[in-house]
Amino acid sequence: MTPVGRKALLLGSGELGKEVAIELQRYGVEVIACDKYPNAPAMQVAHRSYVFNMLDPEELRRVIELEHPDHIIPEVEAIATPVLRQLEEEGYNVTPTATAAWLTMNREGIRRLAAEQLGLPTSPYRFASDFDEFRKAVEEIGIPCVVKPIMSSSGHGQSVIKSADDIERSWKIAQEGGRAGAGRVIVEGFVDFDYEITLLTVRSCSGTCYCEPVGHIQVDGDYRYSWQPQPMSASAIEKAQEIARKVTDALGGYGIFGVELFIKGDEVIFSEVSPRPHDTGMVTMISQDLSEFGLHARALLGLPVPAIRFYGPSASRAVVVEGDTDKIEMDNLEEVLAEPGVQMRIFGKPEVKGHRRMGVILATAETLEEARAKAERAYSKLKVNVLPR
């Protein structure tokens, strides 16, 4: 890299970080990838990488001061965010802002911002730090309800309480699944909704713009399918964009935000927001001229996003592998990719312990129904061989 080039440091190097790294490199940016395990997907394409616990404030500061990047880009929640706030005060540039990373690292910060400060419609909720508080919170919210650690992602630690018999089990799941270990949880009232969406919202020097709404299905809180555009009434789209603008304006900075919303008829309820590309947004790798990763890179670099060109109905299907191995074969790709309008990304994660998202199938077609069916047909032809270690 040249002495005058820009340098970006990724905090989190999974499949989303990998795509951001590639997009940044298209603008000549030097990319350093960090994560808690070696050979993470973004590390495979970055210029350099570091392996360390990003929740360790001293080590996080050491690496950042050593590299002195122009852009610090959090790509996961499990980061010692108070250090990022200190570094931002010292002149470092955090994407989109250190406060956004801090507030969204745990569900309590963003829920209180949305519901209590901005007055956005949300599900009823309570927080609990120990089992007694938890039991009381479940009582107040009522059954059924959803339980999540305040710090987790991809559905880890999430469960649904359907009867009183589930209370102890759900507490245990939340304590074991938290990103930063055992601790505080949120208990949310069950929301009666028709469907849920991710509204990818871009803040750039051109202003705020929105991708077509992304519909999705989650299993145990982890994304399995997404499609674009999710059919919505004009009124619901308007309300969704208004909520997304309010919450992203409050967080500030430049970049893409994944705003998750529940839709019931024309009513829109805020759920969560990620100040970074969203897993359900991987469908944009086939549906738009600029994917969510390209939009993120462009916005955070201070470049204009004058328009987003949407190509047409598209779908994605996550490839989730179960087992305990570091040897996985993705086979029969000649059949998977036989139909026009089908693509695939294999993430290159080094191992699986339990279940892990290892790839994604993408499809585009004339109609939404056909795009979703095409993605599912391609998925059905995929053979995943899980070999012993």
| Active site residue ranges | 153, 155, 260, 272, 279-280, 357
* Cα-based angle 55, 61, 65 (whole degrees, multiple of 5): 150
For 293, phi then psi, to 5°, come to: -75, -40
User: Do residues 257 and 248 make contact, with C-beta atoms less than 8 angstroms apart?
Assistant: yes
Among residues 65, 63, 78, 1, which one has the least CA distance to residue 33? 63
Element holding 35 (H helix, E strand): strand 30-35
Among residues 108, 67, 112, 107, which one has the least CA distance to residue 87? 67
Q: Tokens 């145990």 correspond to what residue?
A: 220
User: How far lies 289's CA from each of 305, 307, 312, in Å?
Assistant: 12, 10, 11
Alpha carbon of residue 39 to chain centroid: 20
Token pair recorded at residue 217: 């299905």
User: How far lies 14's CA from each of 40, 202, 297, 348, in Å?
Assistant: 6, 21, 16, 9
According to DSSP, the β-strands at 48-51 and 30-35 are: parallel
Among residues 320, 364, 298, 313, which one has the least CA distance to residue 221? 320
DSSP one-letter code for 39:
T
The amino acid that residue 263 corresponds to is I
Q: How many contiguous H segments (helices) and E segments (strands) does the chain have?
A: 12, 19
Q: How far apart are CA 130 and CA 266, in angstroms?
A: 38
| Helix, strand, or coil (residue 307) | coil
Q: How far apart are CA 79 and CA 35, in angstroms?
A: 10
User: How far lies 143's CA from each of 139, 140, 160, 168, 263, in Å?
Assistant: 8, 9, 9, 14, 21
* Cα-based angle 248, 253, 254 (whole degrees, multiple of 5): 95
